[in-house]
Amino acid sequence: MIQKPFKVAVIGAGAIGGWIAARLHLAIETQSEHAASEVCVITRGETHRTIQTSGLRLVQKGEQQTHWIPGPTANFLKESGQTFDLIIVSVKAQTMAQAAVDIAPLMHADTAVLTAMNGVPWWFLQGFGGECQGKTLQSVDPGGAITTLIAPQHILGCVVHASCSTTSPGLVQHHFGNGLIIGEPSGAVTPRLERVLALFKGAGFDATASGSIQRDIWYKLWGNMTMNPISALTGSTTDRVLGDDLVRGFVSAVMLEAKEIGARIGLPIDQAPEDRHAVTAKLGAFKTSMLQDTEAGRAIELDAIVGAVHELGHFTGVATPHTSALLGLTRLMAQQRGLYPT
């Protein structure tokens, strides 16, 4: 059982971060047995201003709830000396370096930093051995700046199996899915992991422990690394991507390259691409997060979703001609639209 006080901060209140924050705050409002003692959201810009004036609004099952969650700025928290027991990070990967600067002063010696983000996180090569153990992925952590600010021992990984979107700042729409897979980078079952699982289960999430969180991240990425950029390139929902024989063949070729990389770093996948296509097809016609970002004119998470796989290909000596083509084409499209740095 979680012993109070247990202070939680959510960094980023976009689609996934806002959904998680609202659910954790509702557990406090309903006096759930395992609720945190405090939940706050740390945001910037228009999202921060909207949540301060209108609350964080969550729409699920056709009903809108408004949650008045404290939203102090990172600077205020730093100046006041406040720290948190759990910091949930749900920001775009390209903003993580700045987020790390905000997070570092909010940590105490036992703070857990849980990453609920798309793609390959900066700490991915920590904790599970293999030929790439301990290397820094420059695509997601240039110069190791994030690792310097957030030491590996603070990390908990999280894979989110849910679809959420945000059409305006502070307004989150939950579509489907309720799963959170959480694990230590080492694969160990620790007291802090059990504590965090109880927190999420008490808030109504389908939270499960992972014996290899890197494997779970890699398996989710195995599908997302193609569906996301191809949908952004074409403006198509996933059913149309898989419905075109030529495009589906290209998707499979990229996935086979990633599968070989995974095998070499100790994260084998025992499926064929067609097996994963069948799983994706069951979700029907939906817009990926990268397509949503492209349509909204927001920067895309290309480095964490494709760039890191391309870099791992170099680390392992796996040829990645199809992944390279996908990265180059998507990068050029995004640069033309001002959604990726030149």
Which residue numbers are catalytic?
220
CA count, 13 A, side-chain hemisphere, 91: 25
Three-class SS of residue 61? coil
Burial of 331 (0-12, 13-18, 19+ CB in 10 A): buried
> Taking the CB of residue 163, how many other CB atoms lie within 10 A of it?
18
CB-based contact 85:111 (threshold 8 Å): yes
Q: Which of 257, 264, 193, 183 is nearest to 222 (CA)?
A: 257
- Indicate the helix (H) or strand (E) that contains 253: helix 245-264
> Taking the CB of residue 3, how many other CB atoms lie within 10 A of it?
7
Structural tokens at position 331: 């990068």
Q: Which of 122, 120, 111 is nearest to 87 (CA)?
A: 111
Show Cβ contacts of residue 212 under 8 Å, excluding neighbours closer than 6 positions: 128, 183, 187, 267
CB-based contact 17:91 (threshold 8 Å): yes
Structural tokens at position 286: 């939906």
Q: Scanning the structure block, which residue is given the tokens 């494997």?
A: 215
Q: Which of 21, 158, 322, 280 is nearest to 271 (CA)?
A: 280
